[in-house]
Amino acid sequence: MLTLITTHRRRAQMSSNFYDRLAPFYHLLYGDWDAAVRNQGEALAQLLMGWGIGPGEPVLDAACGIGTQTLGLVAEGYSVTASDLSAGAVERLQQELDARNLQASVRVDDLRTLHCAADESCAAVLACDNSLPHLLTDTEILQALRSAHRVLRPGGLLVLSVRDYAIIERRSPDVRPYGLHRDSEGRRFLAVQVWEWDGNCYDLRMYLTTEQPDGRCATEALTSRYYAVTTDRLQELMREAGLHEVERLDNVLFQPVLVGRRAYEPSMAFGIAPAHVA
């Protein structure tokens, strides 16, 4: 048991270190991060409203990163609490909120336990941008899903976005360039991912090269690991965690979106619960 706990802690530390180091550069993985923030905020707001969760409602972004979804949803009028295992990402999110004069409660927390979130406190819980597959076993994923179920109020909605691993060819090494971008100071950034498969998991190396205006270059190599869990398996685990109305949606974000609702209390079953608008 002690060995298992130590392994889980080491994996969590690897993920947090990866995103701590990536936080200053994360927006450069997008062609236009500000547009992505705006577009994802609008898309998620439309999704939530379709499930009866309107602006002003409490939303937990449980894998917030530097704030792609948090910033967009706050701008859409939602009351967002944002948490992430990476202290560096959380710090960057706070800076982005301050720069935009936006307000959200921001904190470090573990997606598996959500120990900072009170029971039945949220209308919706989000974990987007393929965050859940950082948990490398079905057991850890189920723990996270049960934690999300705990903090959802009756009728609340869990929203996940993940890669569609069922359609991804498994080859090693799999080199994935993320493009070349220039910042306001004239520096150029090149990001390249390299995947190396190990059964149903793969090790990821992110190479970040910074070129100064005078031509000097420096490259950092960041490492992490993912579990290539399929959307079908995730839906099974969502149901096992107690979620209902589980479904996959393919036209919301750039990755497949999975949703599931915490059941209403029996007293709410007759005409009180808002309907899901398809």
Does the structure show a pLDDT above 50 at 202?
yes
Positions of E strands within the chain: 58-61, 79-84, 105-108, 122-127, 152-161, 174-182, 188-198, 201-211, 217-227, 243-249, 257-262
Domain count, the chain: 2
Q: Is 188 exposed, middle or buried (0-12, 13-18, 19+ CB in 10 A)?
A: middle
Domain range for 212: 169-227
The mean pLDDT value for 141-151 works out to 98
Same domain, 63 and 140: yes
For residue 278, being part of any structural domain is answered with: no
Does the structure show a pLDDT above 70 at 43?
yes
Same domain, 135 and 51: yes
Same domain, 43 and 60: yes
164 touches 259 (CB < 8 A): no
For residue 236, being part of any structural domain is answered with: yes
Query: Any long-range contacts for 217-225 (C-beta under 8 Å, 24+ apart)?
Result: 220/21, 222/18, 222/21, 222/22, 223/14, 223/18, 224/14, 224/15, 224/18, 224/134, 225/11, 225/14, 225/134, 225/136, 225/201
For the chain, the straight-line distance linking the first and the last C-alpha, in angstroms and rounded, comes to: 45
Determine the residue type at 235: Q
What is the chain's length? 278
Residue 178 pLDDT class (50, 70, 90 cuts) = confident
Q: Beta-carbon neighbour count of residue 253 at 10 Å?
A: 20
Does the structure show a pLDDT above 90 at 268?
no
Same domain, 221 and 261: no
Does the structure show a pLDDT above 80 at 238?
yes
CA atoms within 13 A on the CB side of 255: 21
| Domain CATH number, residue 197 | 2.20.25
The mean pLDDT value for 189-205 works out to 95
Q: What is the CA radius of gyration of the chain?
A: 19
Say how far apart CA 30 and CA 119 lie, in whole Å: 35
Higher pLDDT, residue 143 or 220: 143
Nearest to 72 by CA among 25, 30, 113, 108: 30
For residue 56, being part of any structural domain is answered with: yes
Same domain, 98 and 120: yes
Residue with tokens 């704030």: 67
Same domain, 206 and 223: yes
Residue with tokens 């998991």: 201
pLDDT in tens, 52-67: 999 999 999 999 999 9
Among 128-142, 168-182, 224-238, 260-274, the range scoring the smallest mean pLDDT is: 260-274
